[in-house]
Amino acid sequence: MNADFSSLYNHHEREVFAAVIDASKDYPEIADSNDLLCDVACVALNRLPPRYIRHEVDFSFYLTEHERLEIDNAIAEAVGYAFNFVQARTALRARK
């Protein structure tokens, strides 16, 4: 049996990536480094529960407006935390 799971993905990935790009303008010292932006995305994603889906439309269709708002707020909070975390770690490394 050959199963193909390539259509599965974590719903939060795309939204976190977009939020990281959007927020990066407020963190120019991080925005210039692809490695640091990837670190921010990893930290943010690790703060969110995974929501694996196959089709975006199916996921969005079954969400209530309240659930959508909760997810948006959780993503914004996770991304803000992640930028501050990576910024602090980068400053700490620079002192050494």
Mean residue pLDDT of the chain comes to: 92
SS3 letters for the chain? CCCCCCCCEEHHHHHHHHHHHHHHHHCHHHHCCHHHHHHHHHHHHHCCCCCEECCHHHHHHHCCHHHHHHHHHHHHHHHHHHHHHHHHHHHHHHHC
User: Where does the pLDDT of residue 12 fall: very low under 50, low under 70, confident under 90, or very high at 90 and above?
Assistant: very high
pLDDT (tens digit per residue) in 25-36: 999 999 999 999
- CA 69 → CA 2, 30, 79, distances in Å? 38, 27, 15
Give the residue carrying structure tokens 């939204």.
15
